[in-house]
Structure 1
Amino acid sequence: MQATITAVRPRQVLASLDPLRQDAYLAAGLAALASVIAVTVGSGRHPDALGWALLLGLHVPLAWRRRAPLAVLAIAIPLIAFYHQQNYNHSAPTAASMVVLYTVAVGSGPVRTAVIGCAVIGLMLVLKIGHGTAGLAVSFQITGWIVSMLVLGGYIRVHRENAAAALERAERAERTREEEARRRVAEERLRIARDLHDLLAHSITLIGVQTSVAAHVLSADPGRLDRAAVAGALEDIAETCRSARGELRTTLEVLRDAGGPDARGPLPGLHGLADLARTVAGADVRLTVTADGVPPAVGAAAYRIVQEALTNAVRHGGRDDLTVHVRVHEDDGALRVHVADDGAGTGTGTPGFGLVGMRERARSVGGTVDAGPRTDGNGFEVTALLPLAPSPVLPPVPPLGGTR
């Protein structure tokens, strides 16, 4: 059997202890050191019973030096002063005195540290004033130690404050990066959700209309089946499926490609409105486009708004001879999109995601969307105003009228 011995470093042992226990061990060690010095080296007489009581007693408060440094100073300094006044070994309590001063400097500001230092030096000079020239030399030496401990404690305090500030800045920067990453993920998810909604809602609506046409042809007169009409309706369904599959593949590639927004491929724009109007089944779409040089983002937003408006018109129009007028033109530095149908739908049902998506599309380029029943009461209309110049994203707006 082999015994495994794990080496434990002294620093690891200290780190595993709580501060009070660490300071208690430090006080005990300093008391032992002071006891050895009291009977071996230094000036002054060896401690008697009172001297030992003073020497060992002044080390006891050191166990709480980090919890209450000023209280420890207030207790230890009188004991140290009385010890020296009795002319006991003057070197014995030096280490404890320096630890107390260092602790006060670490936990206090520069002004308080300077005041405490001046008070301690003044007290030391009062005790040494009757020792003549020898006392003056010792006073300079002790003053140097006092100043050194206070400066060292102040330096450690500033270093810790700077380290804490740097750590806080790093944590704040990390939180900012995480929040920015979450924001970008949320924006990307919202964009993908809009794309999928626009694509699938439009394509599924067209497939539903085309399927209804095929079913009507099959059931209208089974004895005189119009095979060409059925084949045409099925071909329209197949073409719609192919188009939807292509756009869906392009959208899903964004999720798999880490190359950034450029991987999305070309955006749909005003040039695609003609093909969009031709693919709409179940409605007569009359398209008018008088705009040129439209920014890609604005053109894409206009395309998606028209697509959703056509989908809603076909879905909710309620007429076989539905007519939809689509007009896209420039108007005083903005692109105006107007889609109106003459259907029977009034937009008073349960709200859906269509108008919400149109509103978000418009807001993404700084524009607005209004939607609702037409003023003459016949049909539904959607009007979008999209600035052609760069514009900040608008703040949240109240829900649109209508429910499509």
Structure 2
Amino acid sequence: MRRDLPYALSGLALGALLLGNAALAPDAAAVGAVDVVLVLAMMVALAACRRYPVVALGVVTVAMLAVHVRVHPGVSAAFPVLAAVYVAAWRGQRAAAAVASLVFLGSFLARDISTAQTGQLIVERTPLLLGWFVAANVAGLVARQRRAYLEQVEQRAIEAERTREEMALRRAGEERLRIARDLHDSLTHSISVIKVQAGIAVHLARKHGEQPSATLLAIQEASGAAMRELRTTLDVLRSPADEDRVGLARVDELAERTRAAGVPVHVTVSGPPRDLPAEIDQAGYRVVQEALTNVARHAGPATARVHVEYAPAQLTVSVTDDGHASPAHPITPGVGLRGMRERVTGLGGTLRAAAANDNGFTVRAAFPLDGPGGTARSPVVQRTQRAGEPG
């Protein structure tokens, strides 16, 4: 209601101006009860013109034409119509604004001609009113374009901020993996050699009936403890705490948040849910998250459907909507889609993101799983395992 208050105050001011001008104009007729009702209808319509621009424009135009015919208050009858035309053009109703302008101008001037107004008065009023209405239409269009530009700038700023955050997180993850690889390639090998050599020395000493020295036993114990701590450190580096908290088990939470944003979401699950590799579980969650975010931002009035399918050798997640996307107008992939594709292909999966044949958009990601237990791992982890990572 607060957003409608300026329009209501404008209508009140224009109504007072109109009635005052009608009372003071020498050639105006007396203002009757019907005329007051028409002015009140104009004021109410202007108060609601932000939410209902076309209806308000029609009411204001008819009311002001009726007041002009009955009272003839002069050009002041055009002021409320100019305000309604501007708001309608600003709200994107360009055709309605143009039609209302032509109807009011034509009827206003026709009434002046039919009542034998002087030619000089008509010549003066015609370019004046025409200029006003052209200016109102143009000003509304400019205001709408400016608002669209500001929204686009704001959206770009949000996307840039999100891109910076994603890049920072990605670089942090890459750095963690690099550190993990360096630790594995250097310390793991050295500590393994120390542990093995200490174990051999203890075994040989006992085989020859000798008691291993305390120093040797301490080396064997310390190397084993160091190996366990190193394994824990590698696990932490490869599985940061912020990623451990998300997975496909939390898809319903994503759907609920999207519903709260005004987008209906239906979630279906095929196959028995099972334990998945952490990387795949997190990637599936992120795909659904990004796809639902795109639906809320770009699909317009639409319903989203999330489908999670557990198969013996593959996990498939898909998000479809019935929005306004169509194959005739291909969508240029943004940062979100590119990041989604990199995440999926980095795990050996495939991603399809395209408009559906019957309008709407579909995002479908498929992740391969090795065997019934789902033991697939990311390429980076596979490489470190082949390099001899301790079990």
| TM-score scaled by length of structure 2 | 0.51
- Residue in structure 1 matched with residue 127 of structure 2 by the alignment: 140
Q: Distance in 1 between matches of 2:374 and 2:141?
A: 67
Q: Distance in 1 between matches of 2:128 and 2:374?
A: 87
**Counterparts of 1:321-336 in structure 2 under 5 Å?**
none
CA displacement 1:205-238 (0-9 Å, x = unmatched): 2222122123234423456x899xx99x79998x
Q: Structure 1 unaligned runs (5+)?
A: 1-16, 252-349, 362-368, 372-381, 384-402
1:181 is aligned to 2:204: no
- Residue in structure 1 matched with residue 329 of structure 2 by the alignment: none
CA displacement 1:146-165 (0-9 Å, x = unmatched): 11211111111111111112
Cα distance change on mapping 1:189 and 1:116 into 2, 3 Å: farther
Q: Structure 2 unaligned runs (5+)?
A: 235-372
- Tell which deviates more after alignment, 186-195 or 145-154: 186-195
- Residue in structure 1 matched with residue 92 of structure 2 by the alignment: 108
1:76 aligned residue (29, 45, 60): 60
Task: Determine helix, strand or coil for the equivalent of 1:58.
Answer: helix
**Counterparts of 1:145-164 in structure 2 under 5 Å?**
145-164=132-151
Q: CA deviation at 1:102?
A: 1.0
- Tell me if the contact between 2:53 and 2:88 (Cα under 8 Å) persists in the aligned partners: yes
Cα distance change on mapping 1:61 and 1:351 into 2, 3 Å: closer
- Tell which deviates more after alignment, 78-87 or 202-211: 202-211
Q: CA deviation at 1:69?
A: 0.7
**Counterparts of 1:6-25 in structure 2 under 5 Å?**
18-25=2-9
2:23 aligned residue (26, 33, 39): 39
Q: Distance in 1 between matches of 2:374 and 2:61?
A: 79
**Counterparts of 1:83-102 in structure 2 under 5 Å?**
83-102=67-86
Q: Distance in 2 between matches of 1:86 and 1:351?
A: 83
- Residue in structure 1 matched with residue 382 of structure 2 by the alignment: 359
Q: Distance in 2 between matches of 1:189 and 1:64?
A: 57
- Residue in structure 1 matched with residue 51 of structure 2 by the alignment: 67
Task: Determine helix, strand or coil for the equivalent of 1:103.
Answer: helix
Q: CA deviation at 1:353?
A: 11
- Tell me if the contact between 1:104 and 1:153 (Cα under 8 Å) persists in the aligned partners: yes
Q: Distance in 1 between matches of 2:99 and 2:378?
A: 71
Q: Distance in 2 between matches of 1:80 and 1:351?
A: 73
Tell me the C-alpha RMSD between the 2 structures: 4.3
Task: Determine helix, strand or coil for the equivalent of 2:24.
Answer: coil
- Residue in structure 2 matched with residue 117 of structure 1 by the alignment: 101
Q: CA deviation at 1:60?
A: 1.7
**Alignment-mate amino acid for residue 70 of structure 1:** V
Cα distance change on mapping 1:171 and 1:159 into 2, 3 Å: same
**Alignment-mate amino acid for residue 124 of structure 1:** F
- Tell me if the contact between 1:51 and 1:88 (Cα under 8 Å) persists in the aligned partners: no
CA displacement 1:74-116 (0-9 Å, x = unmatched): 1111111111111332244343222111111111255554444
- Residue in structure 1 matched with residue 199 of structure 2 by the alignment: 212
Cα distance change on mapping 1:157 and 1:43 into 2, 3 Å: farther
CA displacement 1:288-336 (0-9 Å, x = unmatched): xxxxxxxxxxxxxxxxxxxxxxxxxxxxxxxxxxxxxxxxxxxxxxxxx
- Residue in structure 1 matched with residue 34 of structure 2 by the alignment: 50
Cα distance change on mapping 1:358 and 1:158 into 2, 3 Å: closer
| TM-score scaled by length of structure 1 | 0.50
Larger Rg: 1
- Residue in structure 2 matched with residue 286 of structure 1 by the alignment: none
Q: Distance in 2 between matches of 1:355 and 1:74?
A: 63
Equivalent pairs, count: 245
- Tell me if the contact between 1:62 and 1:100 (Cα under 8 Å) persists in the aligned partners: yes
**Alignment-mate amino acid for residue 382 of structure 2:** R
Cα distance change on mapping 1:113 and 1:351 into 2, 3 Å: closer
